[in-house]
Structure 1
């Protein structure tokens, strides 16, 4: 059992580094049972850190030190101090060099941090603090250096040797080994270092930049995946062009490379010039990847490419500023995806994810500000708050300044801070200076945790022809217990008259009416805005486009929500009105179930969705989104005390009622779209995505009818589909159906056909793990024995255990606590193998306060069992200890 608490690190304690590293020269000698790393660091005293020559404390973990040299002097063990985490030296001058040689063991590195092996390939993951597992270094983002890297390995096993920057030399050695040297001309911190060595094939292309330079593009994969790279390459070229056109950012090296790796803790990594990707985020072909996977690949390729400027050329000073690069870059990739696909559907999907998962994080024990004040393990802060909420904060700046003002601010930011490690304050300051505004109050979004609540009330004065909206903002307490001061909340609104027409908006004191949609800046705890010239009481359309990440409440009745679904010109709010209507109906049914009453569905929901289903002028992707009921996870999030059985029962009741009452419309839509699919070659483009999305959600409803013609259609789609989107949906529909024989045959044939494709088998695992039918835990345990599953691979863990605990709520939250015990056992096992993945799997247990007393006791007991299970990693210790606090 841990006897001492890991050290808490505080933002307030930040100090500039005592020393800087101007040049880093690395040589890697790769062998099968060890690796030798030789490092030469050209260093100097940091003039910003004060006078004198304090000890030089280099970071290092799991390193076997073979030799150390300070300038020309080889040091003995009496000349330095060493412990499990540091090597301390004593420089004798302000300018000096440090040479070290260490032995490491990538072949046994199951944590997948630093240098490790994925199958037969050597690769790295250094963000956030993995570089210290490679060599002794100042492993912090504000120490930036120019890197030259030489890699030496057996030529037959590892014909491809890659690192950051541009290739400057390579050649054979006499012993069957060969070498390659790479030089990165740009200063970068150690977390952006990358190395890959393997037997890889590549797809090549090129890109002409806006200044006329030709950039070589290469995507490296293992040979069996060479046919799955073209979509990623197309996405890369689109990203490069978009960043030039929208942000004026041109790529700066002669070559840009992506490598697909099967074993990877994250989605991808933006290492300068050599992006290392989880294979799930780069490999896509119609037969093996769904539409959602194609869109994910496009978005992640864009995200990592955009980091070249928002993260690499301008990086973060310390890890508390992580959202400086991640929130900004998520905002950038969301804008790209919106331009490449349907902007409204993209916004709907992003907000649905934010409300379900990030809002839950804000309300849980790991709640923290976008720029946190403290942490124990930085890996735990690669969170939805830093990424998705951080993106929303940047989006609010864009909303407040407008597109032109935001571009002026980003131009100044990149110009002012190119080659620097900076803070969130520096980003906001550039926006202020470029536009002559004061964002002092706005910066509370970076420092205050929690999801603000915005309650809105209305008042209409018929005689004065005025309409007033009063906004009251508050923010619940979070674990930091700090007082919450008013935020700046941009609220985009419109007003609709009785016919659904938009009203021109004129506030009191303004000389003329303006646009029909405008942004109100709510800056006070209570604030009223009054509109003049309003002939009759209007219906407000509030928070259009989800202009701020808040929980907004307004006393809409169901008829008003149906009206907004039909008439609101803002696509997002049309969808959101449907979601609010569904929530009201579902909560009514949940209450009926809890009282033991017969469930009765409000017919207005059926009427509203029948209208949506029959509207052939509406984007098919929008129809699919509006037909999607709020998920059980979201219904849990908005519940004071989540009743697992009632939520599941109510939602399934609504699905079956909709399937029955909308059958004809669903069947017509399904047949029409499936007919097009059967005669159309697969294309990874928005119009085709939309058609398949509506086709597949229709099928998922139709199967609830149990009609033989639907079973026949599902089997036809499963057997003859030419793409994974339709095939996997048909499989999922069968898995969740009562047709046991057909289900078993489909699962077996799918597994046999795709047994050699790990990513497709991950989808096979997830479909079964997510099935809410009884016996979920037993299915998952059986699947863990399948030869395609290994607990050492993060993708497998996420696909099976993550899907079960995070999505299959009715089975995971079984009243006997068996799901909780299962997850706790897995976390204890993973803690010793891969602490990052272990801590991330803990999230479902951390929300124990959300449930009834009996489940609270069971979940808390499992957290306590984990805490007492032995030596915990800092990753797991932090999450468990905060969850039990």
Structure 2
């Protein structure tokens, strides 16, 4: 059972399981007042274990044990011990069959782990340790078994009964009940087990694999969502084809299924053959989902499908290796999204998450390596470090090896470890063996926490035509780690001449034409690179495509940033130069007198972006987004959030006033004719149009107001309708704000996913989302404390996006968040632990704020019966 002082689990203490389970035979009797689970395990001693004739220990959580039998003989209470969290059988033979019957109550399961009910539907979430909430089992990923599952339920209430694998038998049982039996021929860890039972609509399609096999594709949704499946189904088929063509991975079962669930702690889960999705991550239509949602759904569908090989066929040995499957699969889904959309825009999106959120994690009290050395509660380690930084580590291997050798390495990895539970070392070793590269030093990326800092300086010897670039790397101390070793860092570089031309990067050793871009490999603390044959001092284009997850410190001048913003052929670095310029201008205004001038060159740069139709409009749409307040806070030494917000707003309004006519022209130029489509071109046009509209409403422009009202009324898609709603909500037109919010809700109140967007628009707004309004949203009839999406859309959006209101000087925002965390800790500790995050960076802020944040954390710490999940986050935050 849960304890207030959880034990720390260490990677160094890993031991192979004492017993293996070859097959699992499950029978679920689903009733309204509970579920009886019959489990029969074929168990044998692990020949690789040194535990000898150790007792059999099975994990459990919140189970009522009804019976235990060994090889068909019922055991008496003296022959086993039920500790609640463990079922222990002292004396077992080398090989045996264990039968266990447990009773669980899914209808009362608010943690949403194991088997629970959501909107009248039974569903499961077993990763990471949810299977122990269903039946007693060795709940660890290195115990891989073949599952056969029979599901029995009332036929009228639950006509659809699903589990992993292929359905092999079905029939009626009498008294209005029926059953379906599913068999998964592939061994898997229990965290990939899934079960769904409900009254669902089935949408079908087919996919023909590269070998000519026809795969039955099925989506299951509630009847009201029947028209929202097409995009996810199309995304699935694109993912399947891409994985065959790019990685040579063909799907292996006869059926692939997706189920949409409203109440889900995560985004989606890759259970073998039966992916369960949070409804917000899979359902979409033109009328109810934004362009961002369409793109997100495509990426998540791809991610979960790609897990079939990078996570299911080859899984992680233990939870310390979580990035083995998640980092690799995030990299794969990022490749996919870049291939089907804009590679530059995708890279910008990924790096924005890294620099704003993952770097903050790396610099905070919960900092941990991509392969952690210890944890208390595994659910706290589904982090941006595991996922996003883990993906960057794989991306660096791809950069160092090149696409052909990387593909050779991934082929070897899948071939060598199919059906196994392995480690990040096994993945890197496959890359080494395939390519012949020594990646020994590169492994430090998995072992060392923190974001490396690269200090770059340069000089030009005009007499010899030599440009010298000096790069020094260091890694800040993080909790439990000091004195870190230099890491192997790929550093992509270009040099530009005064006319914007790319210059050759000629090393002294080059015997032929030199390339205009190189990937330098940093392995020591300091490197000096010399480039010869230059007639002028170049402007360096550093870390192109963000070739490593590092911070670069270089004394760029505003002239250099403006130059790169206009001329860099690397689209990512062009965007990055614009971001650096905007950051420099905003930072210069923080705490400055109100009449301080704003560099006129910033206005000129943005005017050029808006008016130049020859530029990639998708890139322009991203370049017009000012750096977020969260990113500016991350860059600050001692952040004053209200002052940062004020400076950013001042720059935004200054730009909007100066560019008012350009913004109106941009809006009108990007009005669309023809049918709505989710294409890069149309997405860019809508993004530009809505950015222009948002800027106009920031300065209370009357023409902008009329444009927003017209767009809100007449839009045929959610991107534009929500864009107009957000612009009006963030304006000073209070009457408009109230009216459009009411109209929007009245129109979409029956659609939970759209209502979540409605909540979020208000909670993230410093005008509509002050604490009194946030409290009112929590009392709204559409809000539901049992639904994680609703909680995230109000509490999460307020604390994570509405930084001006959250960081009020009186600390009321911090106390509000502490109240909600304490409330949720009793019902859904996973969600509670994730909501704490904004408070964990208390040391990042100016003293007036940090002390109040710390006090709110201490109040959470002192809550009686604190869950393991929240305990770990809060105690590490206060100690860090």
The normalised TM-score by structure 2 is 0.99
Q: Which residues of 2 match residues 197-276 of structure 1 at below 5 A?
A: 197-276=197-276
Q: Which residues of 2 match residues 797-812 of structure 1 at below 5 A?
A: 797-812=791-806
Aligned: 1:526 with 2:523: no
Contact 2:698–2:730 (8 Å) recurs in 1: no
- 1:763 alignment partner, one of 754, 757, 769: 757
1:80 counterpart residue number: 80
TM-superposed CA distance for 1:82, in Å, is: 1.4
Q: What is the rounded CA distance, in whole Å, between the counterparts of 1:532 and 1:463 in structure 2?
A: 11
TM-superposed CA distance for 1:760, in Å, is: 0.2
Describe the SS at the equivalent of 1:42: strand
Q: What is the rounded CA distance, in whole Å, between the counterparts of 2:118 and 2:477 in structure 1?
A: 43
2:669 counterpart residue number: 672
TM-superposed CA distance for 1:851, in Å, is: 1.2
Contact 2:3–2:867 (8 Å) recurs in 1: no
Aligned: 1:604 with 2:598: no
Describe the SS at the equivalent of 1:310: coil
Q: What is the rounded CA distance, in whole Å, between the counterparts of 1:146 and 1:586 in structure 2?
A: 58
Aligned: 1:841 with 2:838: no
Aligned: 1:355 with 2:355: yes
Structure 1 moving runs of 4+ over 6 Å: none
1:570 counterpart residue number: 570
Q: What is the rounded CA distance, in whole Å, between the counterparts of 1:54 and 1:429 in structure 2?
A: 33
Deviations 1:292-325 (A, max 9, x none): 0000100000000000000000000000000000
Contact 1:347–1:545 (8 Å) recurs in 2: yes
Q: Which residues of 2 match residues 30-429 of structure 1 at below 5 A?
A: 30-50=30-50, 52-429=52-429
Describe the SS at the equivalent of 1:529: strand
Deviations 1:38-85 (A, max 9, x none): 000001010000363110100001000000001122101100111121
Aligned: 1:863 with 2:857: yes
Q: What is the rounded CA distance, in whole Å, between the counterparts of 1:51 and 1:665 in structure 2?
A: 74
2:618 counterpart residue number: 621
- 1:655 alignment partner, one of 638, 647, 652: 652
Q: What is the rounded CA distance, in whole Å, between the counterparts of 1:443 and 1:308 in structure 2?
A: 25
TM-superposed CA distance for 1:439, in Å, is: 0.4
1:27 counterpart residue number: 27
2:682 counterpart residue number: 688
Describe the SS at the equivalent of 1:47: coil
Q: Which residues of 2 match residues 533-552 of structure 1 at below 5 A?
A: 533-552=533-552
Contact 1:505–1:513 (8 Å) recurs in 2: no
Describe the SS at the equivalent of 2:158: coil
- 2:729 alignment partner, one of 722, 735, 741: 735
Q: What is the rounded CA distance, in whole Å, between the counterparts of 1:672 and 1:497 in structure 2?
A: 34
Deviations 1:430-478 (A, max 9, x none): 0000000110000000000000000101021112211111100001110
Which deviates more from structure 2 when the two are superposed, residues 291-300 or residues 527-536?
Answer: 527-536
TM-superposed CA distance for 1:599, in Å, is: 2.9
TM-superposed CA distance for 1:705, in Å, is: 2.9
Aligned: 1:746 with 2:743: no
Deviations 1:338-397 (A, max 9, x none): 011111001001101110000000011100000000000000000000000000000000
Describe the SS at the equivalent of 2:467: strand
Which deviates more from structure 2 when the two are superposed, residues 756-765 or residues 90-99?
Answer: 90-99
Which deviates more from structure 2 when the two are superposed, residues 253-262 or residues 859-868?
Answer: 859-868
TM-superposed CA distance for 1:858, in Å, is: 1.1
Q: Matched residue pairs, number?
A: 878
Which deviates more from structure 2 when the two are superposed, residues 523-532 or residues 145-154?
Answer: 523-532
Which deviates more from structure 2 when the two are superposed, residues 245-254 or residues 701-710?
Answer: 701-710
Q: What is the rounded CA distance, in whole Å, between the counterparts of 1:302 and 1:591 in structure 2?
A: 46
TM-superposed CA distance for 1:513, in Å, is: 3.1
Q: What is the rounded CA distance, in whole Å, between the counterparts of 2:654 and 2:200 in structure 1?
A: 53
Q: What is the rounded CA distance, in whole Å, between the counterparts of 2:91 and 2:127 in structure 1?
A: 28
Describe the SS at the equivalent of 2:518: strand
Describe the SS at the equivalent of 1:50: coil
In structure 2, list runs of 5 or more residues that go unmatched.
none
TM-superposed CA distance for 1:92, in Å, is: 3.3
Q: What is the rounded CA distance, in whole Å, between the counterparts of 1:484 and 1:868 in structure 2?
A: 35
Deviations 1:79-121 (A, max 9, x none): 0111121000134321101000000000000000000000110
Q: What is the rounded CA distance, in whole Å, between the counterparts of 1:348 and 1:3 in structure 2?
A: 42
Q: What is the rounded CA distance, in whole Å, between the counterparts of 2:94 and 2:616 in structure 1?
A: 65
TM-superposed CA distance for 1:326, in Å, is: 0.2
Contact 2:764–2:802 (8 Å) recurs in 1: yes
Q: What is the rounded CA distance, in whole Å, between the counterparts of 2:50 and 2:220 in structure 1?
A: 46
Q: What is the rounded CA distance, in whole Å, between the counterparts of 2:94 and 2:602 in structure 1?
A: 74
Contact 1:55–1:91 (8 Å) recurs in 2: yes
Describe the SS at the equivalent of 1:833: coil
Deviations 1:131-177 (A, max 9, x none): 00000001000000000000000000000000000000100111110
1:499 counterpart residue number: 499
Contact 1:453–1:473 (8 Å) recurs in 2: yes
TM-superposed CA distance for 1:532, in Å, is: 1.2
Q: What is the rounded CA distance, in whole Å, between the counterparts of 2:682 and 2:235 in structure 1?
A: 17
Q: What is the rounded CA distance, in whole Å, between the counterparts of 1:14 and 1:235 in structure 2?
A: 39
Describe the SS at the equivalent of 2:143: coil
TM-superposed CA distance for 1:553, in Å, is: 1.1
The normalised TM-score by structure 1 is 0.98
Give me the CA root mean square deviation: 1.0
In structure 1, list runs of 5 or more residues that go unmatched.
none
Q: What is the rounded CA distance, in whole Å, between the counterparts of 1:92 and 1:711 in structure 2?
A: 76
Contact 1:70–1:91 (8 Å) recurs in 2: no
